[in-house]
A and B are shown apart, each in its own frame.
Chain A
Amino acid sequence: MFKTTSFFKSLPVTLMFLIASTAVFSQTDSVGKAVDSVTIVPKKKSTGPKLKGTVVDAATGKGLSGLNVRVEGFSAALTDEKGKFSLTVPDYNAIVTVSGAGFQEKEIPLRGMKDLVVRLHEESFTSLYDEASYAFDSKRLSYIAGAVNAVSTGGSWKLNAETPDTYLQGRIPGLNVIRRSGTAGIGANLFLRGFTSINSTNQPLFVVDGMIYDSNNYGSSLIGGHVNNPLQYIDVKDIDNITVVKDGTASIYGTKSANGVVFINTNQAKELATKIDFSLYGGVNLEPKQLPLMNSNGYRLYLSDLLQSGGIPSSQVAALPYMNDQLNPNYYTYHNNTNWQDQVFRTSYNQNYFLKITGGDDIAKYALSIGYIKNKGVIDSTDLIKYNTRFNAEFKLTSKLTANANLAFTYAEQNLRDQGLSTTTSPIFSALVKAPFLRPNEVDANNNVSPSLSDVDIFSVSNPRSLINTAQSATKNYRFFGSINFNYKLGKNVNLSSLIGVTYDKQRESYFIPRKGVSNDTLRNAIADSRLASQVQRVYNLYSDTRISYQKTFNRLHNVSATAGFRYTNSESESDYARTYNSATDQLISIGNGSAALRELGGDIGKYRWLNNYLAASYDFSRKYFLNLNLAVDGSSRFGTAAKDGFKIGGSPFAVLPSVSAAWLISSEQFMSNMTAIDLLKVRASYGLTGNDDIGNYTSRQYYVKQNLLGLSGLVRGNFGNPELQWEKVAKANLGIDAAFLNEKLSLSIDFYSNKTSKMLIYEPTETVSGLALVVANSGSMRTNGVDIGLNSRILNKSLKWDLGLTYNTYKNKVLSLPNDNGSLLNSYGGATYITQKGSAANLFFGYKTNGVYSSNADASGTGYTIKTPVGNSVAFSGGDVRFADVNGDKIIDDRDRVVIGNPNPDFTGSFSNKFVYKNWSLDALFTFSYGNDLYNYTRSNLESASNYNNQSIAVLNRWKMEGQVTDIPKATLNDPMGNARFSDRWIEDGSYLRLRTLALGYNIPLKTKALKYAKVYVTGNNLFVITKYLGYDPEFNATGSIYTQGVDTTVEPLVRSFQLGVRIGL
């Protein structure tokens, strides 16, 4: 076992070395021979009518010389210096393609035209003639019948602070990207067209360079609120293009395709000449805007009210050290005015270096990149250091055999701090709730400040500085992701290919929370002061994709292609953790120093295998009528042996997931030839079955888990084991229109979709006598309907170019059935309760409705509302209590008065982007927005509970104090006997926002020297402003990918406002 591990450990390095050296040798071999690739001119002399035309620059109207004009597979010509050309065409119904360096590629159906004027936009212009790149092939968007979007990153040199997932925000219609937090590299959760599952993953499948990229998390992080994001190992600058398949046509990836597929293709050498790109960036991350909290004066008055409400006599209140204004030894400890948020947040710096070399010869081409990122967090003492390398190469081994190698190795080190619901160990949360009259350092009776930090305070709140200075939470991760794809030309039209690749990922975490300055934790059998832990997670995936493909055009009218193949994944993951407590001193921080009696070991092993047999066939007639058929037949070790769907081979169930799509390119029809304003018009429809295999590796089987009983270890049944457990089925229907008008000045795609999930995984509560709380079964269904709109428009097209882009997504989710149709499922997170019930969206906030605060005792007694205490006494509300709505009319405010109080799903989300280009200048502005989503402000529910010693927000200054006072903040009551702070619409806020997400200015320095090819300067601002009514740090956050945590603000590190200045030099 150990040997295998070390072999695989060394494998990436060895492979890297081998491939790199091959490339270098082939490079040296061919020095001097390197020539730029040549356009292949058809061998046969074509005969037919002549087409005349001009190709002009759409912006200036000037003729463009040296552009390639052709009829695919028939004839080709070059434009002269005035842009004129003459081309032999088979007939005047042919399709002419125009392309050339620096300009977009465009297709024009002649539709009888004999004289042609083609207006071309520049290469980076977003067009429906762009290509969408899949795993091994690419297809022009105008030919695609499914719902597909493509993004060409253009190197994204301006946006180096992104990870691939956050990069997609606002760029794909239908994809709602919600960033998890402001922590560097933590990424985002992607919701493509809403969600398709309530208990399985809703994240799309990532396919990087033809290989499935494992973006799952294996085991949770030791560090509170942290999520390890595997996508951060891909540098955005390495990405060439991204294609997102949103509809049923993704079904070719079988039971992994339910949430769509994101194809990421990394940079390949496009030219043989050696190109060197070097960039360096430096930037600053600004301290977030602070939440307005009470100062010492306001807080002490609040405490006075609070203590009095708790029945503490005034003599005892006056004797409390923080209420004693007489000079005494503790005077200076308790008489300060500290802004604790200042103690936690810092303006910090980020830097980034990146080097890319591409080049090669006839035999081998390569793209090599090396990057380094150091990004300090806005939480003091946190940072991310990342080294990434990538080596992509293409080999022409024989005339028939070619190979591609894509190898990437990334290493990342990150210093983190607890966030989120780890309230006692999160520096942010402690800073928010800590009494402002305290100070971070110890102080003596004469106001001499000690360098040693203050211990946990009189209210048991940790010292945020201790959590920053003494606590340690670090991760060290690496991932090797590499594949080799062989391609053998069996015949003129037949290719045989096979890809084999491995993912090897290791994450190590170490964690230490000191005893001094941190409030204790209570364990089952001890008090924990210091906390120590460490964890290792490993993932090893072996992946292969072998296929045979056929492609042929008959009579230049019938284009046929088909691919059949199989994909195989063998995934092994393991996580091991050790946790202990109470090391002797805060200097002993490693796991071995903790108390042996409290040591706790655990972990997980996960293995599964997946086999996906697929067939993809497509046919089009004259590039006008398109028909595609996909079929996947999936087997997986996760499926239960008695699964109802699919069919069985040798007792193992296989999922059968077909899809069909068709499109009609209306604009290529003859009758459209008069409508010159319309460049392109296409309608398309698709329907397909997709599946979700995220049902747990072993859930369908019965297993045992360890159980400790009075110090003895034993095994107990871990689950029921459901042999009928199977993949979730998502049927996806899509109807779309693509259109481009006025020489593509306006292009538009609209998609209507309906996703129906059946066999949806439900955790059904069971009877107590069963001994297990839940049983997992495929017993629910739901539907998501929605619309995506993508719009691109060139508003100005003179020397100043202005492009406006817009994406817009809306969806509505509805649960169609549950195991018990009249019942509901309740889920809780961070104090919030979500309800899932038939007929409405799956994750609605469920709590109490409020209507202000009783202004007086008479007002309260007028309603006669009471609560029942746990012992059964009735207690009436009084002045200053929250006026809860009595929904069921029994005058008792209890669980039965809960109603739906919010919906975390947005009414719509999207973006609009602006791009200005003027001479050497370019300016990009991307705005993202979300409208109508409700958020549960957990942070504010702590800062405005007015029920404990936590410091409160300034809103609590307006708390109810006197009879007749009209306010919406209840009175301060110690321990909240009336439940004023319970989960209610007081904490539900409108999460709508509009954000200037990125503003990037680029300048191309005009160069006289030939030593440099180019030099560019970028200034980028991220998250520059956000317009929102939301009262937390930022309305964008996402604790976990689960829909049952969506919209809960658990005090995570807010999104960072940052600026970067970068220089890029080309050699």
Chain B
Amino acid sequence: MILSEKYMIGNTTRFLMFVMLSVLSVMTACKDTWKERGMVSGEAMTLSVMDKINANANLSTFSGYLIKTGYAEIINTSKNYTVWAPTNSALQNLDASIVTDTAKLKVFVGNHIANLTYATTVPADTTQRILMLNGKYVPFTKNTFDEANISLANQYAKNGILHVIDGAVPVKQSIWEYVSSATIGLDQKTYLMSLNKTAQDTSLATITGYDPVTGKPILKPGTGLVTTNRFLSAVKNVSNEQNQYTFFLLADASFGAEKAKLTKYYNSTSISPDSTTTNLTSWNVVKDLAVSGAYSPNQLPAQLLSVNNVNIPINKSAIIASYKASNGWVYVMSSMNFSVAEKIPAITVEGEVVSSFSSSGISGSVFYPIRSDNKGISYKTLEVYRSGVSALNVTYRLRNIPSATYKVYWRAIAGTTGDPQTVTFNQKLVFNSSNIATDLGYKPVSVASTDATANAIAYSDLYIGDCVVTKYGNVTMSLVSAASTAVNVNTLLLDYVKLVPVIQ
């Protein structure tokens, strides 16, 4: 057993040193190990953003504005802020109306301050859109803040970052604000504004009590009013600052021209041309005038696809004016030649989307089989088999059908795998709209074939006849079975009906 191990001697020496050191440290009083760790030093850790601004003589004007608007206190609080402070010279030429009006000044100053910290440590080609305290988003890159250049970047403070910029960044209007105050394209603007509706939001309104019967809250009238706009909700919410859009404003002539192309498809039941027709026509024009994404004039393609799947043809030479809004681009167009065929598209009525049957008690005979067509694509169909009802009506209600002449096609194929109906039979389509009834007469349905060519024909749309809709509105379409009660004769079979408008 070896006991003269080196470490013991080493430890003992260390022990003696330790004793001496301990005595020393007792004498020199206990040093607080935490003091050093918790101590923050350096301007970046001790000064607030406001202190940093005040420390820079070149930012005195902006500092004054901060104090005047109350932002000075806010950016001294314990939250992170990024401030893009314009130099004194950049603020020299600031519109006096902003400087004198505290409310406007507050919006202006708020356009230079953001919550959280944003440094210029991002790659050069990255653009961040940053939410400012005034609710606007401002693009920020490694070297620029909106149009201003960053002259002194990344001045860290205890509660954020200061960037010094060489120009003031005026508050931009959003697309919707721009449109609302537009001076050209007034017809379109007027129409869009007419879509405004004011309603009471139950979550914002003051509740004065609860209805003892229903238990529903009783709202104080005039409180919690919110304005909604159909365009913003149904097309694109171009008032939203968070996302970016491109919006087209048509000059009055162009707006009128586009409406003229469409007005005949909106023949109303009342005296022509009435307000209904005008409104419908106008809606059909504007519904394709906004898209997501900010397309600058350079990036603007020849055409864009609207939310309604309509191509927006853009003729750059037709741009009268353009405006870079806080949330995208607005182009004022002298013309915009929409394709009427796209605006008034074909209507497909799926056979299985039935509104009603003329006879009750046939539910055991109604099927909605899913089958595969000749290309292997599965489709759902309606089949009424062995109903025992003569001339059974299956009704489809078609809503908001533009006034036009339609070529009517159907696809109905008997004799597919598993189908009890193996032979052809007759059925017919009857249309009723605005007192005009169109009976397209009994037509045989196609039968699936083992021959590929024949089968392709069977599966193609089968032209049935024409149907004229004279007035815009609802149309009732009925699929009628043969006037027989015999099995395999009074069958109904429908994949879909297609109504293709004849564009003139």
Contact = CB atoms under 8 A, between A and B. Distances in A.
Contacts of B8: 786-787, 810
Nearest to B74: A325
Contact of B78 (A296, A315, A786): A296
Contacts of A325: 74, 77, 79
Contact of A929 (B22, B44, B242): B22
B121 interface: yes
Most buried by A among B11, B34, B131: B11
Given A296-B78, A313-B131, A907 B14 contact: yes
Given A313-B131, A994-B22, A304 B74 contact: no
Interface stretch (B110-118, B456-464, B479-487): B110-118
Given A315-B131, A929-B18, A963 B121 contact: yes
A1027 B119 contact: no
B269 to A, nearest CB: 48
Contact of B116 (A314, A754, A787, A957): A314
Contact of A317 (B34, B44, B115): B115
A992 B115 CA distance: 45
Contact of B34 (A318, A879, A1031): A1031
Contacts of A963: 119, 121, 154
A1012 interface: no
A101 to B, nearest CB: 38
Nearest to B78: A297
A907 B16 CA distance: 13
B78 A931 contact: no
B11 A304 contact: no
Nearest to B117: A308
B15 interface: yes
Q: How large is the interface on A (under 10, 10 to 19, 20 to 34, 35 or more residues)?
A: 35 or more
A301 B119 contact: no
Most buried by A among B30, B77, B78, B156: B78
A965 interface: yes
Given A994-B22, A1027-B22, A908 B1 contact: no
B71 to A, nearest CB: 12
A785 B44 contact: no
Contact of B33 (A879, A908, A1029): A1029
A157 interface: no
A1025 B22 CA distance: 12
A1038 B131 CA distance: 51
Contact of A785 (B5, B26, B115, B116): B5
A557 interface: no
A702 interface: no
Majority SS at the chain A contact face: mixed
Given A304-B79, A812-B5, A962 B154 contact: yes
A754 B1 contact: yes
Contact of A957 (B14, B18, B38, B114): B38
Given A305-B117, A953-B38, A961-B156, A300 B79 contact: yes
A754 B45 CA distance: 55
B116 A308 contact: yes
A932 B18 CA distance: 10
Given A323-B79, A1027-B25, A301 B158 contact: yes
Contacts of A1004: none
B38 A954 contact: yes
Contacts of B12: 787, 808, 810, 908
Nearest to B3: A752
B78 A300 contact: yes
Nearest to A687: B1
Contacts of B74: 325
A156 B78 CA distance: 55
B225 interface: no
B130 interface: yes
A732 to B, nearest CB: 11
A857 B122 CA distance: 10
Contacts of A323: 79, 115
Interface in B216-275: 242
Given A297-B78, A962-B154, A754 B3 contact: yes
Interface in B75-89: 77-80
Interface in A728-759: 733, 735, 752, 754
B11 A908 contact: yes
Contacts of A735: 3
A296 B156 CA distance: 20
Given A315-B131, A810-B8, A857-B121, A954 B34 contact: yes
B320 interface: no
Interface in B127-148: 130-131
A954 B30 contact: no
B18 A958 contact: no
Contacts of B327: none
B197 interface: no
Nearest to B37: A955
Interface in A992-1008: 992, 994
Contacts of B34: 291-292, 953-955, 1031
Contacts of A910: 15
B66 to A, nearest CB: 16
A325 B79 CA distance: 10
Contact of A1027 (B30, B38, B121, B159): B30
Contacts of B121: 857, 879, 963
Contacts of B158: 301
B42 to A, nearest CB: 9
Interface string B5-25: 101100110110010001001
B45 A304 contact: no
Contacts of A957: 38, 40, 45
Contacts of A723: none
A931 B14 contact: yes
B25 A958 contact: no
A760 to B, nearest CB: 19
Contacts of A308: 80, 116-117
Interface string A184-206: 00000000000000000000000
B15 A908 contact: yes
Nearest to A992: B18
Given A317-B115, A808-B15, A857-B121, A955 B78 contact: no
Contact of B80 (A305, A752, A1027): A305
Interface in A938-997: 953-955, 957-958, 961-963, 965, 992, 994
Nearest to A787: B8
A100 interface: no
11 contacts: A298-B78, A304-B115, A307-B116, A314-B131, A929-B18, A931-B15, A955-B37, A957-B38, A962-B161, A965-B44, A994-B22
Given A301-B79, A304-B116, A961-B44, 19 more contacts: A298-B78, A304-B79, A313-B131, A314-B131, A754-B1, A785-B3, A785-B5, A910-B15, A931-B14, A932-B11, A953-B37, A953-B38, A954-B38, A955-B34, A962-B156, A963-B121, A1027-B22, A1027-B26, A1030-B33
Interface of A: 291-292, 296-298, 300-301, 304-305, 307-308, 313-315, 317-318, 323, 325, 733, 735, 752, 754, 785-787, 808, 810, 812, 857, 879, 907-908, 910, 929, 931-932, 953-955, 957-958, 961-963, 965, 992, 994, 1025, 1027-1031
